């Protein structure tokens, strides 16, 4: 049995952190679903930037949209929604079979809106309506300005993938926003069954301090943060507040491990996957990590619901001068800026391709 299938059977969803038009048209994604027990997919501006910049697979679609007078951001979202709608349809049988627990794909609102609450809410509603797929998450960053947008979007019935979370505190703030949205739906007599995941980024912690800690602490910070967050999630999901919501027909907001590709070439290529196996969670992996897991990965012990040795490990980093809270804020800010840079690069790529295709027509 492949390790990807074993993870699936242990209760953790394996999602692909990638999408390209070629993955869809070549039948590769369909094959991955069958071969690697994939049950979902995520995207972000960086993924689309690379996909459009490094291939000609989008050229005919861009040319067609240019003839309709479209350009820039609206043109991109049409391209993205074409890809994600096709992917959503591939995962739809899983969504139906699991009653909406699994089988999701994700599309991010413009990163330029990360600190604009009102525009994020409007974009989330518009993109979800435009996609017209029940198994499409709209990704909203868990920034301070994003939190009220998460609550309002959930209240409006939009399934949300909360992104750019780095710490236990980030996770709890995002979960609070989700719960408020659901509780408001219950109070308004609306169906509280609105799906959501909370995406906690893991490997960026280790990349950030790789040169500042002794060898024995390398590649341990991200996993310790994840364990601490998992403990908080287990407590929240079994709390009286959550149980009241379940009793009204709501569902748990699942914890999702993001940024789980190994950055350190000296470390195992399935380091974070092996360490973060846990039921009722999602691990969204780069394509290479999924293949490595299926090829030679092994699944170790499941994550301890009490956080295991996380506090002990984190205290070692604190003694070494790592300010966890400050670093979490920095990572979230840098993550938001990185997506903005990718977005601007993406818009430049589309603009450049537009000019080339116009001249060629």
Active site residue 139: yes
| CA distance readout (Å), 210 to 18, 124, 195, 261, 351 | 26, 36, 36, 15, 37
| Residue appearing with tokens 């170790």 | 300
Question: What token pair was written down for 18?
Answer: 């990638």
- Name every residue whose Cβ is closer than 8 Å to that of residue 132 and which is 6 or more positions away in sequence: 85
Q: How far apart are alpha carbons 12 and 220 in whole angstroms? A: 21
Phi, psi of 96 (to 5 degrees): -65, -45
- What are the backbone dihedrals phi and psi of residue 166, each rounded to the nearest 5 degrees, phi first? -125, -20
Distance, in Å, from the CA atom of 274 to the CA atom of 24, rounded to the nearest integer, reads 28
CA–CA separation, 146 and 144 (whole Å): 5
Nearest to 17 by CA among 151, 147, 163, 119: 163
Sequence-ordered list of residues with C-beta below 8 angstroms from that of 252, at least 6 positions apart, any chain: 237, 242, 246, 280
Check residue 113 and report its DSSP letter.
G
Active-site choice (65, 139, 231, 353): 139
Q: What is the number of helices (H) and of strands (E) in the chain? A: 16, 8
Q: Report the catalytic residues.
A: 139
């Amino acid at each position: 049995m492949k390790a990807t299938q074993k993870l699936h059977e242990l209760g953790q969803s394996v999602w692909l952190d990638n999408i390209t038009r070629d993955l869809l048209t070549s039948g590769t994604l369909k094959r991955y679903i069958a071969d690697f027990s994939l049950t979902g997919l995520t995207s972000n501006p960086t993924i689309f930037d690379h996909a459009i910049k490094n291939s000609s697979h989008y050229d005919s679609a861009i040319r067609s949209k240019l003839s309709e007078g479209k350009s820039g951001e609206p043109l991109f979202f049409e391209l993205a929604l074409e890809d994600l709608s096709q992917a959503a349809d591939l995962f739809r049988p899983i969504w139906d079979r699991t009653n909406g627990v699994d089988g999701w794909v994700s599309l991010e609102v413009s990163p330029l809106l990360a600190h604009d609450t009102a525009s994020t809410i409007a974009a989330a509603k518009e993109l979800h309506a435009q996609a017209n797929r029940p198994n499409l998450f709209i990704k909203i960053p868990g920034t301070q300005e994003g939190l009220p947008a998460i609550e309002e979007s959930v209240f409006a019935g939009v399934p949300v993938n909360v992104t750019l979370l780095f710490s236990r505190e980030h996770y709890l703030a995002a979960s609070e926003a989700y719960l408020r949205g659901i509780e408001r739906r219950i109070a308004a007599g609306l169906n509280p069954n609105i799906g959501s995941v909370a995406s906690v980024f893991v490997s960026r912690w280790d990349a950030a301090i790789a040169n500042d800690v002794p060898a024995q602490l390398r590649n341990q910070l991200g996993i310790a943060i994840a364990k601490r967050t998992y403990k908080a999630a287990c407590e929240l999901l079994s709390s009286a507040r959550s149980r009241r919501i379940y009793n009204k027909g709501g569902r748990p907001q699942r914890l999702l491990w993001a940024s789980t590709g190994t950055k350190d070439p000296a470390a195992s290529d399935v380091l974070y996957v092996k360490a973060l196996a846990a039921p009722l969670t999602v691990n969204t992996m780069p394509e290479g990590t999924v293949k490595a897991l299926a090829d030679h990965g092994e699944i170790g012990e499941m994550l301890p619901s009490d956080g295991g040795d996380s506090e002990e490990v984190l205290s070692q980093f604190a003694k070494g001068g790592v300010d966890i809270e400050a670093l979490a804020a920095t990572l979230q800010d840098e993550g938001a800026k990185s997506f903005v840079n990718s977005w601007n690069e993406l818009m430049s790529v589309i603009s450049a391709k537009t000019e080339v295709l116009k001249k060629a027509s």
